[in-house]
């Protein structure tokens, strides 16, 4: 169930055909050598059965990162990241689940199949179709690249020079040029490529006279890459005095979805991981200029408002975002919208407010600009502070203005996930607007009932010792999980996260006939719980299975014992009360009940001795 959900969440875009069967994923996990895979990124040293090294997911002073090749699992005791080969790639490279599976499958020579109950012939045709589309994009890309360095591309090359783009950046971002006319169309025709499909991809289009023309004609081309570094489409920048719009994107198609891609993410992903922050800007040239100025963690959307899907792409790499949008009104509006969206996705960050007529590109190209930008980014305002400033700054003194700002503020507050942050924000806003906090809270209650404020309190709930014992047994010997979950005392477990985790494992077993710790752990936010699982998975020592059975029996019976003891006390109390009220019949009944509980306790004690 969880695997399906993860599959759907991370990879199930409309462009991805169906679901990958468990058996294929299992096969891939079996064959991948996790030490080798991790070793490409991290220097690992052997200790016992495990390998350790510096964690690639946080800046690690001592080797906190362990790999257990036998179990195919990694875990970091510093930042609590953990998982298998697939999640290693999704976390490190920002790939989707499906992309990571495909990438691993290629390295171990397994062909990935998809299931969706559809007709296999149709599936094969669709796969073939996607292949042709990809080939066309690659062909166009190569053609654009060559034009830029040929005499036909002089205009484009000169434009890049005028914008201060250096050759290293042209090559890093694989910039190309499409000369005015129908050169690409001619090229496709000569090679006998399917023109209707090139038209679907928006590479060529019908001219008024009914013939074909190049859609990116007279534009500098920036390829937009997927996380597996395939060209998904293009963004074409017109030259000064050229056609509108300034940036023309490939139209949405089977292989290109504007809302699901970020420009520059492939080039920026290492820096984003290393510095644990992504910088979001508006335009392609902003990205290129920032990278050239040494700020290499910048990415941009594709001309539309940031989507949840794009936020998720960033979230795979970092939880911290800096918004560096244009200084004009449109940029400010976009900043506000994006801030809300990111917070709603659990991402936090800061905002840089640029002077009115500036954008990141213009700033980066100024004398001393890069240094100034670095400073601005370092001193950027946290989201909540920025929001307070905008709201109180725009409110003015009139009551109407202040009330309106309060209303906007509470709508914004409903996106804040942490209850504490929400409270502090509300109080500060009330203070700045000169309104009663209680009034704002009342307004917030209205917003929250329609909004999606979720608290994550249980991520901190402490795990009782007995439940830790149980978890350790369950992780080491998943086969005891059904015994635990079916036990009449299961509901006596106090920690919700532990109960959910065990039930997730149980569900997998019921539905798929096997356990997938990785998938079950994906759903866990509780750090203590993650640590316990990580420790067990990295532990060399193994209990004999018989001991595991006995361990579970003991823990579960101790839950039962506690429950019976509580019941015993409760009955004693009731008996005292009933006695004093003189209801003899009732007392007798309670005494009988107590005797029964006593027998159960004795039986429990006897079974322990055996
Ligand atoms: Zn770490």
Q: Are residues 591 and 484 in the same domain?
A: yes
Q: In the chain, what percentage of residues exceed pLDDT 90?
A: 43
Q: Are residues 177 and 245 in the same domain?
A: yes
CATH of the domain at 81: 3.90.580.10
Q: Are residues 472 and 602 in the same domain?
A: yes
Q: Are residues 282 and 360 in the same domain?
A: yes
- In-domain check, residue 115: no
Backbone angles phi, psi at 237, to 5 degrees: -95, 125
Interatomic CA distance for residues 205 and 182, integer angstroms: 10
Burial class of residue 113 (count of CB atoms within 10 Å of its CB; 0-12, 13-18, 19+): middle
Q: How far is the CA of 577 from the centre of ligand 1 (A)?
A: 58
Q: Which residues of 371-385 are buried (b: 16+ CB within 10 A; e: fewer)?
A: eebeebbeebbebbe
Q: How far is the CA of 538 from the centre of ligand 1 (A)?
A: 15
Residue 352 Cα to chain centre, angstroms: 24
Q: Are residues 473 and 587 in the same domain?
A: yes
Q: Are residues 199 and 172 in the same domain?
A: yes
Give the residue from 379, 410, 439 where a domain finishes: 379
Residue 179 Cα to chain centre, angstroms: 39
Backbone angles phi, psi at 404, to 5 degrees: -60, -45
Q: How far is the CA of 66 from the centre of ligand 1 (A)?
A: 10
Give the residue from 455, 489, 505 where a domain finishes: 455
Q: How far is the CA of 364 from the centre of ligand 1 (A)?
A: 33
- Give the range of the structural domain holding residue 188, as residue numbers without chain letter: 125-253
For residues 44-72, average pLDDT: 89
Give the residue from 431, 455, 479 where a domain finishes: 455
Q: Are residues 469 and 601 in the same domain?
A: yes
CATH of the domain at 181: 3.90.980.10
Q: Are residues 473 and 601 in the same domain?
A: yes
Q: How far is the CA of 74 from the centre of ligand 1 (A)?
A: 10
Q: Are residues 476 and 596 in the same domain?
A: yes
Q: Are residues 198 and 225 in the same domain?
A: yes
- In-domain check, residue 116: no
| 229, 188 contact by CB (below 8 A) | no
H-assigned helices in 321-418:
329-344, 360-364, 369-378, 383-395, 399-413
Over the stretch 536-551, which tens digit does the pLDDT of each residue have? Answer: 888 766 677 778 888 8
CATH of the domain at 508: 1.10.860
- In-domain check, residue 596: yes
SS3 556: helix
- In-domain check, residue 43: yes
| 86, 29 contact by CB (below 8 A) | yes
Q: How far is the CA of 53 from the centre of ligand 1 (A)?
A: 10
Structure confidence at residue 452 (pLDDT): 37
- In-domain check, residue 258: no
Whole-number average pLDDT of the chain: 86
- In-domain check, residue 386: no
Structure confidence at residue 304 (pLDDT): 84
- Give the least confident one: 2-6, 350-354, 565-569: 2-6
Q: How far is the CA of 526 from the centre of ligand 1 (A)?
A: 16
For residues 262-290, average pLDDT: 94
Q: How far is the CA of 297 from the centre of ligand 1 (A)?
A: 20
Q: Are residues 60 and 83 in the same domain?
A: yes
Structure confidence at residue 445 (pLDDT): 64
- In-domain check, residue 45: yes
Over the stretch 471-508, which tens digit does the pLDDT of each residue have? Answer: 888 888 888 898 899 888 888 888 888 888 998 888 88
- In-domain check, residue 387: no
Q: Are residues 269 and 344 in the same domain?
A: yes
| 263, 224 contact by CB (below 8 A) | yes
How far apart are the two ends of the chain, measured CA to CA in Å?
Answer: 39
Number of domains in the chain: 5
Angle between helices 545-581 and 584-609 (to 10 degrees): 160
């Amino acid at each position: 169930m969880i695997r399906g959900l993860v599959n759907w969440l991370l990879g199930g875009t409309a462009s991805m055909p169906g679901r990958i069967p468990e058996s294929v994923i299992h096969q891939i996990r079996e064959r991948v050598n996790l030490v080798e895979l991790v070793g490409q990124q991290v220097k690992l040293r052997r200790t016992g059965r495990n390998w350790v090294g510096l964690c690639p997911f946080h800046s690690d002073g001592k080797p906190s990162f362990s790999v257990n090749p036998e179990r195919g699992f990694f875990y970091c005791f510093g930042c609590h990241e953990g998982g298998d080969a697939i999640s290693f790639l999704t976390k490190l490279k920002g790939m989707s689940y499906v992309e990571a599976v495909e990438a691993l499958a290629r390295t171990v020579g397994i062909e990935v199949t998809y299931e969706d109950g559809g007709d296999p012939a149709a599936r094969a045709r669709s796969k073939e179709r996607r292949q042709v589309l990809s080939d066309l994009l690659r062909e166009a890309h190569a053609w654009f690249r060559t034009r830029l360095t040929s005499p036909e591309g002089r205009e484009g090359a000169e434009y890049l020079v005028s914008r201060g783009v250096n050759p290293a950046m042209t090559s890093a971002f694989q910039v190309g040029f499409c000369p005015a006319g129908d050169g690409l169309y001619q090229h496709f025709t000569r090679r006998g490529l399917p023109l209707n499909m090139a038209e679907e991809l928006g590479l060529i289009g019908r001219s008024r006279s009914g013939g074909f023309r190049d859609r990116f004609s007279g534009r500098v081309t920036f390829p937009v890459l997927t996380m597996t570094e395939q060209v998904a489409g293009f963004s074409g920048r017109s030259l000064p005095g050229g056609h509108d719009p300034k940036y023309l994107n490939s139209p949405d198609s089977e292989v290109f979805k504007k809302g699901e891609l970020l420009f520059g993410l492939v080039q920026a992903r290492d820096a984003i991981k290393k510095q644990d922050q992504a910088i979001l800007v508006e335009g392609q040239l902003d990205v290129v200029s920032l990278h050239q100025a040494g700020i290499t963690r910048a990415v941009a959307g594709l001309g539309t408002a940031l989507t949840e899907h794009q936020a998720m792409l960033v979230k795979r790499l970092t939880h911290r975002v800096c918004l560096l949008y244009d200084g004009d009104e449109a940029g400010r509006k976009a900043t506000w919208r994006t801030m809300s969206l990111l917070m709603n996705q659990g991402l936090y960050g800061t905002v840089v407010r640029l002077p009115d007529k500036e954008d990141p590109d213009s700033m980066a190209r100024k004398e001393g600009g890069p240094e100034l930008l670095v400073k601005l980014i370092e001193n950027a305002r946290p989201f909540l502070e920025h929001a307070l400033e905008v709201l109180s700054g725009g409110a003015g003194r009139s009551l109407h203005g202040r009330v309106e700002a309060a209303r906007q503020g509470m709508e914004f507050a409903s996106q804040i996930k942490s209850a504490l942050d929400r409270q502090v924000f509300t109080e500060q806003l009330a203070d700045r607007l000169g309104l009663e906090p209680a009034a704002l809270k009342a307004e917030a209650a209205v917003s929250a009932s329609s909004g999606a404020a979720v608290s994550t309190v249980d991520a901190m709930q402490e795990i009782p010792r007995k439940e830790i014992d149980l978890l350790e047994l369950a992780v080491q010997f998943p086969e005891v999980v059904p015994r635990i979950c079916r036990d009449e005392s299961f509901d006596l477990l106090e920690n919700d996260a532990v109960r959910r985790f065990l039930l997730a494992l149980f569900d997998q077993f019921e539905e798929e006939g096997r356990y997938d710790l990785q998938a079950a752990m994906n759903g866990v936010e509780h750090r203590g719980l993650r640590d316990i699982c990580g420790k067990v998975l990295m532990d060399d020592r193994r209990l004999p299975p018989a001991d595991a059975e006995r361990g579970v029996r003991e823990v579960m019976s101790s839950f039962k014992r506690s429950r019976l003891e509580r019941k015993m006390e409760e009955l004693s109390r009731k008996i005292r009360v009933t006695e004093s009220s003189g209801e003899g019949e009732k007392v007798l009944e309670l005494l009988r009940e107590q005797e029964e509980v006593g027998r159960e306790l004795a039986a429990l004690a006897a079974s322990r001795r055996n």
